[in-house]
Chain A
Amino acid sequence: DQQVKQNSPSLSVQEGRISILNCDYTNSMFDYFLWYKKYPAEGPTFLISISSIKDKNEDGRFTVFLNKSAKHLSLHIVPSQPGDSAVYFCAASAGNQFYFGTGTSLTVIP
């Protein structure tokens, strides 16, 4: 049972534009959400997170939005840069277990 879903396997965006990556979850007990970025041949790297008591968290070009009623979160990257091209995973936790989505491959076109 996939508790965290990323329904878009891939996304292409022009450099300088906004990238919006989406994630849906089913478990209302999740209390913390994270985004990870992964380059080929490397492990995932933590990018940004948000607690369930908030609806927005911003860190430089990256902003995560959480809509608890819709069980939806999104990652906005503005402006997108070619170096942002990677696979992005969203993850959620309830207690000490973490559940990951299947990833979205972002390509930023120069």
Chain B
Amino acid sequence: DTGVSQNPRHKITKRGQNVTFRCDPISEHNRLYWYRQTLGQGPEFLTYFQNEAQLEKSRLLSDRFSAERPKGSFSTLEIQRTEQGDSAMYLCASSSLAGGYNEQFFGPGTRLTVL
């Protein structure tokens, strides 16, 4: 297990289409986070899971966004009816109790471009 992986790395879509991203965390990590990063900004928290339970959601996560982690392993982030303002880098991170949950390991991100 070499780290957190995210697929796809790049996604270009037309406005109004639905997109889904996948994140595979480090296998023994039971917490998984989604962040969004726009140009010139730091990562912004979207949501996080403890195992399969989604425990917190940011107000940034509109009703067009949904995240799942059905078996407590990989997670998906779906954006419905994409808008140009959704264009960003979507980062996934995972952490474990061994690291006090504070040390998050990030994936390389999925860059979304909405035309």
Contact = CB atoms under 8 A, between A and B. Distances in A.
Interface SS majority for chain B: loop
A97 B56 contact: yes
Contacts of A103: 42
B63 to A, nearest CB: 20
B107 interface: yes
Interface string B86-115: 000001010000000111111111000000
A101 B103 contact: no
Interface residues of A, number: 23
B43 A45 contact: no
A91 B35 CA distance: 13
Interface string A12-47: 000000000000000000001010100001111110
B48 interface: yes
B42 A89 contact: yes
**Which of A4, A46, A99 has the most B CB atoms < 10 Å from its CB?**
A46
Given A34-B102, A49-B102, A44 B55 contact: no
Interface of A: 4, 6, 32, 34, 36, 41-46, 49, 89, 91, 93, 96-103
Interface of B: 4, 33, 35, 40-45, 48, 55-56, 58, 91, 93, 101-109
